[in-house]
């Protein structure tokens, strides 16, 4: 079979050839060769369809091939990434590799255009056989377009997800991230504008700073970071949440991400340390590295209820000398952040303004005096006014 021989000859995109659905398709085509019974051919065809159904509920062969292609780390893609990350060491790409990429992408496009009718006609059998379809995606055109904008559109997992989390030192996608955006936030415009402006500079490859957002709980610090990142997803920015327990891996994470063509906000939420925590030194050195140009595509955004992030213990207050050392240690971490932004607890006027803005956005009608009275009582029961309390109150209505 000429189709089988062509698929077997794929070199640059060998990873696509060896994965499903092409692996099962090749097995079926191989069974069409002389020496196999009709039962073996039918069984192999049924297995191929079963694999395709499990990969794509729409039974679309072309789309299934694209899903594998976009995840395939091949020499052609690796060169494109290297030429963005380190243009000087990337060297010159062979014209032969470009030609091979185009030819194999054309072949994959043609393979993806096959339907069940095309494959079943190879069988001398008029009984039941399952069907599948093809959307006939121009895989060559789509792939080359992705390659040309890889620093903004991403590739593989970065094309499907915008939020990530570090777990056991590995990058894993957040399937259902917090949907908050800038239009969902009210008041604190000055603070959000500062974060957004820094993120815009980061996205454009301009000088940027690491950011510390500190202040009272429930004032929207985390939501500000997430909404600012979301504003620049189409510019190649991705958000990576790093739990405090994973900070020991921070240098390795940054090293790994430095080989990617995109930009990553490393988000540390609600973070604080004991004075003897070894991870303080890790974070200090990483932030210090940014100041000396050591980080190209990673920015650190942290939130904390404490400005200095390091807890002061009772023993540290025992004498004035020890206390002075403790304060210096606290400042040495927080002041390494180029931008420090205070989110203080809203006063009564601001709190009620947020409540009313939220209700208006939800289309809820209300009486001013009644809603102010109810909102204040709700805040009293919750322990005080905050943006979070305002949102919880609005949601309760």
What is the residue-wise DSSP string for 106-137? HHHHHHHT--HHHHHTTS---S-----B----
C-alpha to C-alpha distance for 26 and 114, rounded to whole angstroms = 13
Q: Do residues 310 and 275 lie in contact, with contact meaning Cβ atoms separated by under 8 Å?
A: yes
Residue with tokens 């500000």: 224
**pTM attached to this predicted model:** 0.83
Residue 12's nearest CA partner among 138, 108, 146 is 108
Winning range, highest mean pLDDT, from 52-56, 343-347, 382-386: 52-56
Residue 49's nearest CA partner among 20, 10, 6, 71 is 20
Structure-token pair, residue 5: 């021989």
71 pLDDT more than 50 = yes
Structure-token pair, residue 193: 């504008």
pLDDT of residue 308: 67
243 pLDDT more than 80 = yes
310 pLDDT more than 80 = no
Neighbours of 39 (CB within 10 A): 10
58 pLDDT more than 50 = yes
Structure-token pair, residue 315: 């023993």
Helix, strand, coil content of the chain in percent (nearest 5): 55, 10, 35
Q: Do residues 17 and 105 lie in contact, with contact meaning Cβ atoms separated by under 8 Å?
A: no
pLDDT per residue as tens digits for the range 135-183: 999 999 999 999 999 999 999 999 999 999 999 989 999 999 988 776 6
C-alpha to C-alpha distance for 144 and 258, rounded to whole angstroms = 23
pLDDT of residue 328: 56
50 pLDDT more than 80 = yes
pLDDT of residue 309: 73
Lowest-pLDDT range of 199-213, 228-242, 308-322, 334-348? 308-322
129 pLDDT more than 90 = yes
Q: Do residues 238 and 158 lie in contact, with contact meaning Cβ atoms separated by under 8 Å?
A: yes
- What's the mean pLDDT in 88-104? 89
Residue 164: strand pairing partners: 173, 240
Tell me phi and psi for residue 170, to 5 degrees.
Answer: -115, 150
C-alpha to C-alpha distance for 368 and 352, rounded to whole angstroms = 10
Residue predicted with more confidence, 294 or 56: 56
Residue predicted with more confidence, 294 or 41: 41
Residue 161's nearest CA partner among 70, 218, 78, 233 is 233
Q: What percent of the chain has pLDDT over 70?
A: 92
pLDDT of residue 2: 85
Per-residue confidence band for 314, with pLDDT thresholds at 50, 70 and 90? very low
Which element (helix H / strand E) includes 261? none
Task: Sort residue 81 into left (φ over 0), alpha (ψ -120 to 50) or beta.
Answer: alpha
Tell me phi and psi for residue 263, to 5 degrees.
Answer: -120, 145
C-alpha to C-alpha distance for 70 and 156, rounded to whole angstroms = 5
230 pLDDT more than 60 = yes
237 pLDDT more than 70 = yes
Lowest-pLDDT range of 68-72, 239-243, 364-368? 364-368
Residue predicted with more confidence, 253 or 314: 253
pLDDT of residue 301: 97
- What's the mean pLDDT in 61-74? 96
292 pLDDT more than 50 = no
């Amino acid at each position: 079979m000429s189709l089988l021989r062509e698929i077997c000859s794929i070199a640059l995109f060998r990873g696509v050839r060896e994965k499903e659905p092409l692996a099962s398709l090749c097995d079926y085509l191989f069974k069409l060769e002389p020496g196999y019974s009709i039962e073996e051919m039918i069984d192999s065809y049924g297995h191929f369809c079963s694999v395709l159904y499990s990969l794509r509920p729409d039974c679309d062969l072309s789309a299934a091939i694209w899903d594998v292609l976009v995840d395939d780390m091949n020499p052609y893609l690796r060169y494109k990434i290297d030429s963005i990350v380190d243009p000087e060491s990337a060297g010159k790409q062979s014209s032969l590799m470009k030609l091979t990429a185009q030819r194999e992408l054309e072949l994959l496009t043609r393979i993806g255009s096959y339907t069940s009718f095309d494959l079943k006609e190879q069988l001398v059998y008029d009984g039941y056989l399952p069907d599948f379809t093809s959307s006939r995606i121009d895989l060559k055109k789509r792939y080359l377009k992705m390659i040309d904008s890889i620093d903004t559109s991403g590739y593989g997992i970065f094309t499907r997800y915008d939020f990530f989390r570090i777990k056991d030192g590995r990058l894993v996608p957040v399937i259902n991230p917090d949907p908050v955006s800038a239009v969902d936030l009210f008041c604190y415009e000055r603070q959000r504008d500062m974060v957004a402006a820094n993120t815009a500079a980061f996205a454009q490859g301009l000088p940027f700073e690491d950011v510390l957002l500190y202040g009272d709980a429930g004032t929207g610090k985390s939501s500000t970071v997430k909404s600012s990142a979301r504003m620049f997803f189409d510019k190649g920015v991705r958000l990576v949440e790093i739990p405090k327990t994973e900070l020991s891996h921070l240098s390795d994470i940054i090293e790994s991400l430095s080989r990617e063509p995109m930009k990553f906000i490393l988000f540390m939420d609600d973070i604080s340390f004991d004075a003897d925590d070894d991870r303080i030194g890790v974070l200090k050195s990483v932030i210090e590295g940014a100041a000396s140009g050591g980080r190209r595509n990673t920015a650190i955004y942290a939130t904390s209820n404490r400005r200095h992030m390091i807890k002061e213990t009772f023993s540290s207050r025992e004498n004035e000398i020890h206390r002075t050392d403790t304060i210096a240690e606290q400042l040495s971490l927080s002041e390494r952040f180029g931008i420090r932004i205070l989110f203080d607890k809203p006063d009564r006027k601001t709190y009620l303004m947020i409540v009313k803005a939220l209700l208006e956005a939800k289309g809820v009608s209300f009486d001013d005096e009644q809603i102010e009275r109810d909102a204040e009582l709700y805040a009293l029961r919750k322990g005080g006014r905050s943006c979070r309390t305002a949102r919880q109150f609005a949601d309760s209505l």
